[in-house]
Structure 1
């Protein structure tokens, strides 16, 4: 028996190492139909791929690395060389923006190498500001549970994770950092974090470190102290691990979905079937969006005050909705990068149809 499990097929782990994609990314591309395994074991659920699929996986990784949307990747891989060239040429301007971002990241990495101060973590200031903005809107507005008015910040050997929840929505974002000397975690007052956003966006790099009663944030020789909350944060990882199995998966253009929710304070009903999502608002506005659907059609409703911030904070041009049932939390995944995860709790659906047969 070889590492491939057979003479022709390779496991998802082998393909991941050969292509440079992570196993989670390969599972995502299977879910959206971009790179479907040659075989899936009916008992274990293990995915197996042909060696010939490695080249396609590498191409997908390269295209996603320069920000090409999933539907454009499908067209590029369709086999029309001239069309592929036109699509890639049209994407060149986006590379300039990404090159600027890469320069900022490189500066951060260079400054963080050799940093041995206990607990200090160095990262891009603009990246931290963006992560704060993406998760802090999920914090609670009341002090009923003190920890929910804060953002849980966890440092590890290579990343910083920010998490917030108000029990109706949960957002967690992970960003890459340099090499902190120790792991640590704090629940930080969300208001204090919001107050340093403008300052962070004007800086190049920032150092964060835990101290008694505070998170110390330093950039450009200026220090800010954000208060911490001495209360236990919910075990969000157990919450994510305990989610019910996904029955319906919807891949949709983020901006079109956001347009239907922004500026509207009410309930919006999602009715999805085949390749179409029908969005209906109580004010009578209806819009039909093309989607990629896996699983049965479903009707599910959301309060826009809960849904809009989750869509607005999502990364990239597409988002994926993983739906278990109309009354269970819906997982919103980023199609660009899996480092931002959001759970949104549905509300009562006036149609009350649930999954469609």
Structure 2
């Protein structure tokens, strides 16, 4: 007999998916301990679970999966192939329709690009080294690695007035941090300085004339990492953006390179979320609980606090990628989780820092 954890690991379904399929009557455990509620699976159920996992990865509807599993278990040699062929035809039809719609979207984007003009942006900002280092550390983990989306493989620098926001996202999570131009050292979180602290030598203007405009540039990860390597002693650093060239200088050392040419997504729009319920996080306890997770999805149970749940519990339940959540928990020992709803992004923020937070997309618990 296999426990639910062993079955999840061996089948590729995951514990949350196995619980869902049990409740749906698709893959029912061979035995449930009446005292503990623990689920146990017979050896012959492993093949059925692996087949179920493949069908779900193919996107087959649950109603058809039921019939496939029933036919497979009963040795039906006619029904199962017909169900598979029908599902494949639906996928091919859906793909053709999606291609048509995406072609129309590309045409709209092309028209928009040709109707826009891009001005050369210039900005110069003197920043606290400790604040810039902390901001880079706070967002670096969320940068993308997908070669098909190279613009997400960098850190976005958004300069407005004397404030610098750093942003990174890989589509499934996003991290935002802020630091400000200042002549004095700011706290390590890099987000507590205000515009009144800014030095007179800072300038930011799309036309290069000074005066507090907005300049945005996306720095590729190798260049961002080289910048971070310079920021070792907390000394002020001078950031210069001149068109597509980005340079950071501190203590007589400098690194420079070209920015990524594509437009970064409008991250401010992505953060326009309704207000949710804020819950304190026991960060050390969550780290310990998540450190032992082997599945790709774990369940957070939200009551007055946030815990990692193994079984059905009272309270809101939301699925997350445990590795991604561990990355976000590195932001500090005192964090809050803002819960908006089961399908909305989770927001992790520090109570003492207004402009540093991360968003984490939930994972469906419905298999």
TM alignment of 1:1-357, pairs within 5 A: 119-177=123-181, 178-179=198-199, 180-182=202-204, 183=213, 184-241=215-272, 243-246=273-276, 248-262=277-291, 264-266=293-295, 267-273=297-303, 275-280=304-309, 297-312=315-330, 314-315=331-332, 317-349=333-365
C-alpha distance in 2 between matches for 1:278 and 1:268: 11
Contact 2:280 2:305 in 1 (8 A): no
Larger Rg belongs to: 2
Across the aligned residues of Structure 1 and Structure 2, the Cα RMSD in angstroms comes to 2.6
Question: Which of the pair has the greater relative contact order for Cα pairs under 8 Å at 6+ separation?
Answer: 2
Tell whether the 8 Å contact from 1:203 to 1:219 is kept in structure 2 after alignment. no
**Alpha-carbon shift at residue 140 of structure 1 (Å):** 0.7
Cα offsets for 1:291-321 (capped at 9, x unmatched) = xxxxx93111111122111111x24x32111
- What corresponds to 2:70 in structure 1? none
After superposition, what is the alpha-carbon deviation per residue over 1:221-250, rounded to whole angstroms, capped at 9, x for unaligned?
111014310111111111111x2452x331
Structure 2 distance, partners of 1:310, 1:278, is: 16
The question of whether the paired residues in 2 share the 8 Å contact of 1:217 and 1:225 is answered with: yes
User: Matches of 2:153 and 2:178 in 1, distance apart?
Assistant: 19
**TM-score, scaled relative to structure 1:** 0.56
Runs of 5+ in structure 2 lacking a partner?
1-121, 182-197, 205-212
Paired with 1:132 and 1:329, the residues of 2 have a C-alpha distance of: 22
Contact between 2:336 and 2:349, CA under 8 Å: does it hold in 1? yes
Query: How many residues are treated as equivalent by the alignment?
Result: 218
On the 8 A contact 1:133/1:194 being kept in 2, the answer is no
Q: Could you tell me how far apart the structure 1 residues matched to 2:285 and 2:230 are? A: 31
Task: Report the equivalent of 1:70.
Answer: none
